[in-house]
Chain A
Amino acid sequence: NAGVTQTPKFRVLKTGQSMTLLCAQDMNHEYMYWYRQDPGMGLRLIHYSVGEGTTAKGEVPDGYNVSRLKKQNFLLGLESAAPSQTSVYFCASTLTGNTEAFFGQGTRLTVV
């Protein structure tokens, strides 16, 4: 049972480049989340999804887009990367709202 898997684990981008982070879960969870973690700021919610085909904005959505075309996958896109998006990105999933979150191992993104 793989749980939550994020790809890639590391990436370096140049300013203005685009990329997509993939999150996959095999637990049949309804909710999926993308967070960014920065020193001293904890985890801040970027976007989330409460089911296949749905997405919603979190605390810091600007500069990011997401899609949930399949229940098991949640994609995070950066259309034009900026140095301020240098961070560690975590994906998580929950069975429904108000249940335990399961996390991926994180993606360390550096924008130069």
Chain B
Amino acid sequence: AQSVTQLGSHVSVSEGALVLLRCNYSSSVPPYLFWYVQYPNQGLQLLLKYTSAATLVKGINGFEAEFKKSETSFHLTKPSAHMSDAAEYFCAVSDPDMRFGAGTRLTVKP
């Protein structure tokens, strides 16, 4: 089965700074890739998904991710962090069953 690896279990940024959360996938063919966000004591909700239509994918809340086949990466970025972005973020791959990375907890400092 395909898998994803998230680099960095915890990322801390200042409010207004760039957010970069890293995800690499294992597949040799372009997979279906997703980013989800989890707020405390809640289930996960979709931020964005890659389905091969475009390499740069825009999601909700100002997040975007770029699919790079040469690097087998699908990193999540946001130009300017907001306090409300503090949450845990999960990269996932569909094969077609949905498999998740270990998650990255984002902390935003005032």
Q: What's the nearest-Cβ distance from chain A to residue B96, in Å?
A: 2
Verify A58–B49 contact, CB threshold 8 A.
no
Verify A40–B43 contact, CB threshold 8 A.
no
Residue numbers in B under 8 Å from A59 (CB-CB):
99
- Find residues 61-110 in chain B having any chain A CB closer than 8 Å to their own CB: 90, 92, 94-103
Residue numbers in A under 8 Å from B34 (CB-CB):
100-101
Residues of A within 8 A of B (CB-CB), count: 28
Residue numbers in A under 8 Å from B96 (CB-CB):
31, 50, 96-98
Chain B, Cβ-Cβ closest to A4: B43
Bound complex: CA of A35 vs CA of B60, how far in Å? 24
Q: Chain A residues in contact with chain B, CB under 8 A? A: 4, 31, 33, 35, 40-45, 48, 50, 56, 58-59, 90, 92, 94, 96-101, 103-106
